[in-house]
Amino acid sequence: DTAVSQTPKYLVTQMGNDKSIKCEQNLGHDTMYWYKQDSKKFLKIMFSYNNKELIINETVPNRFSPKSPDKAHLNLHINSLELGDSAVYFCASSQSPSTDTQYFGPGTRLTVL
């Protein structure tokens, strides 16, 4: 029944490792997003895909690579993790990249040691 799901919910890893976060939506939406929420709760968009095509790529280090195998999935792979990558990462989806409501997943708390 979950509309937007993310795995894992928690991720603890060492600096320099590579990790992935998966996101799936069962709403039939065309557009998906990744957001980063820092320790001060500031929420900022990272990427957006529409119909599996990248449409937003904010100034994110190229260690972050999103991949959308199909419209229902948007995964986030992070190479060479750094301490500053520690944050909560939220996936979201909307019907289209316009004025539609965005539906958020529960978040993945990433801690880099």
Which residue is associated with the tokens 């557009």?
A: 31
- Cα-Cα-Cα-Cα dihedral sign, residues 24, 102, 68, 71: positive
- Both structure tokens of 7: 């795995």
Q: Which stretch binds other proteins (CB under 8 A): 16-24, 39-47, 67-75, 79-87?
A: 39-47
Q: Is 43 in the site for other proteins (CB under 8 A)?
A: yes
| Number of chain residues interacting with other proteins (CB under 8 A) | 23
Q: Tokens for 56?
A: 């937003």
- Applying CB under 8 A, among 19, 56, 72, 86 the residue interacting with other proteins is 56
CB 110 within 8 A of CB 21: yes
Q: Left (φ > 0), alpha (ψ -120 to 50) or beta: where does 107 sit?
A: left
Report the residue number, 18 or 58, with the smaller CB distance to other proteins: 58
Q: Which stretch binds other proteins (CB under 8 A): 12-20, 43-51, 66-74, 79-87?
A: 43-51
Closest to other proteins by CB, 18 or 49: 49
- Please tell me the distance from the alpha carbon of residue 91 to that of residue 55, in angstroms, as a whole number: 15
Which chain residues interact with other proteins by CB under 8 A?
A: 4, 33, 40-45, 48, 55-56, 90, 92, 97-99, 101-107
